Amino acid sequence: MDATRIDYIEFGSTDISKSRAFFAQAFGWGFADYGPGYAGLEGAGLDGGIEAVEPDAAFAPLVILYSADLNAAEAAVRAAGGEIVKEQFDFPGGRRFHFREPGGNVLAVWSDPGGKAG
């Protein structure tokens, strides 16, 4: 299996417009809109986005890893004792799954159909 690396971070927000304004003013980040519930980060030093969440939802930043082989990454997560908390699903740009590592952190692994260069 190729090395799996940190590739993306996703923040939850109960008010995307307020989060955008905060990050723009505090850090000078820009944004690309991908619908009313998602804004991609620009100029943040690492690819990422802000996703709309319900006001009562518990959320923390989601660190997303990249693997050229999603099935192999999932098998490695399971073999190492990780728990799949969201089965593989398609999203614009690729496919991913979410897992909890034995210490309790939830992360995701994604892959794109064409094999991202990197």
- pLDDT per position as a tens digit, 29-57: 999 999 889 999 999 999 999 999 998 87
pLDDT surpassing 80 at residue 58: no
* Structure confidence by residue, pLDDT tens digits, 5-19: 899 999 999 999 999
Query: What are the domain boundaries of the chain?
Result: 5-111
CATH code that applies to domain 5-111? 3.10.180.10
The confidence score (pLDDT) of residue 86 equals: 97
The span from the CA of 118 to the CA of 106, in Å, is: 24
Can you tell me the distance from the alpha carbon of 51 to that of 16, in angstroms, rounded to the nearest whole number?
7
Give the pLDDT band of residue 115 (cuts 50, 70, 90).
Answer: low
